[in-house]
Amino acid sequence: MTDIPTEPLKDSVTNTLNPVLSPTEKMLQGPILTTLLRLSAPNVGEAVARVAFIAFDAVFIGWLGTEALAGVSIVFPIFLIMQMMSASGLGTGTAAAVARALGAGEQKDAGIVAAQGLLLAVLVAAFFSLLFLLFGSAIYQWLGAEGASLEAANTYSTIVFGGILLVWLMNVLANILRGTGNMLIPASAIVIGEAFHLALAPALILGWGPFPAFGISGAAIAILSSYGAGALLLLTYLLMGKSIIRLSWRNFKPSGPHMREILGIGGFASLNVLQTQMILILSTGFIATYGQTLLAGYGAANRLELLQIPVTFALGSAVITMVATNLGAGQQDRVRQIAWYGTGISIAIGLLFGAAALLAAEQWMGLFSEDPEVISAGVLYLTWIGPLLPLLGAGLGLTFALFGANKPLIPFLAITSRLILLALAGWVVVHVWEGPVFTLIMVILGAIGLFAAILIIAGVRFFRQPN
């Protein structure tokens, strides 16, 4: 880990004769805290739309009965991985590369990066579409689907993965614009897309108005319609010349250096998404060995912890873009300041969630269950996890800053260490020692602490002030 390299600031970026600053110039010259908050604000609406999508989709599918809900419940987590890999993985790599190019004053290069990001989205989407169209049914059977639930899973999967390209295109297009410092248009497109979903899903599932009742197929069509609408809005915005980025057919010619630049961040970010899901699966599986009551309590309590991630990501998109833009411009002192401002805000978000865990645990658990034993188990977990949530916030904040600074290996090693500690120590506690659940919870918390400690140590070393 070394100091951030210094390059001359390109005059083409900073036009001091123009009193109205462009989005790039605001990220290079504007007050750091207010610029970060201004860029983050639209993303909060996006986070709300994402949460609404997850919640209401389950409600709509539930109208079709237990078998339909069971079948979709097998497919939906895999779909969410696609969503997160395209947005937080490849999308993050694209946004960071676009921002670095614009920070260096290379507008033409930023256009090439944008086109290569879209080309990668097409290639990756084609791979996953082919994978699940050919082998999806076998995968769902292996995961436990059978009979009517397997039929529902296959119906839902065939449509969703047949059109999964729309998900990848919308999220990469959104991140292209985020890389320019424009957070409002991507957030607006995603909110509008979710409005499509909320309007179409019940109509297509149940046959409201002029629509026939498509059942579970209607739910899948509604999802793709929401992403298609968002992608169309974002593509139209770019093609109308409203952005500093210009899409040109000649830029879609495969470019190895630009693809490697995107994947240098996006590949590690995608692996982080997969490992985050593995951590959730392992934690839940270990807790399940202690009985359904503890599992239900942990599952409900853990939702508060999980909500911290998308809320912090609303800030993270702004941190990645600002850090990458200033890195491209060679403004290393400002990079450091942005990194620590972003980390401080992430800690503050963690403090809010920690306070909720400690002060409103019973109220939170009451939203999910009336069983006193389930509530008691959840309250106990929230009491333990609450003090660690600001530490988790610090780790998340530094993850975003290091992605923007083109240092993706450090966050990858941090989350890998968390996964390994949880897997090994959790296995010993549950299957070898057969210890009490308290010990397993300490392992879960210790893994979070290790993740945060690695990132804090790395952040202090990398973002330190020069002597």
Each residue's pLDDT tens digit, 31-60: 999 999 999 888 887 777 777 776 676 677
Query: What are the structural domain ranges in the chain?
Result: 26-254, 256-467
What percent of the chain is modeled with pLDDT above 70? 94
65 vs 26 pLDDT, higher one: 26
350-362 pLDDT, tens digit per residue, is: 999 999 999 998 9
Q: Average model confidence (pLDDT) for the chain?
A: 87
Alpha-carbon gap, residue 456 to 399, rounded angstroms: 10
Chain segment 105-128, per-residue pLDDT in tens:
888 999 999 999 999 999 999 999
Averaged pLDDT for residues 4-24: 49
**Nearest CA among 4, 9, 76, 1 for reference residue 336:** 4
Tell me the per-residue pLDDT of 146-179, one tens digit each, with 9 for 90 and over. 888 889 889 999 999 999 999 999 999 999 999 9
pLDDT at position 34, please?
A: 92
pLDDT digits (tens, 9 = 90+) for 423-440: 999 999 988 888 888 899
* Model pLDDT, residue 296: 77
- Specify the pLDDT at position 285: 81
State the pLDDT at residue 21. 67
270 vs 301 pLDDT, higher one? 270
pLDDT value for 11: 39
- The mean per-residue pLDDT over the stretch 205-221 comes to 87
On the question of pLDDT at 454 being above 90, the answer is yes
Mean pLDDT computed over 187-203: 88
State yes or no: pLDDT of 2 exceeds 60: no
pLDDT, residue 77, reads 77
* Per-residue pLDDT, 55: 62
Name the band, by pLDDT with cuts 50, 70 and 90, for residue 464: confident
pLDDT at 467 over 60: no
pLDDT per residue as tens digits for the range 233-279: 999 999 988 888 888 889 999 999 999 999 999 999 999 988 988 88
Q: Quickly state the pLDDT bin for 199 (edges 50, 70, 90).
A: confident
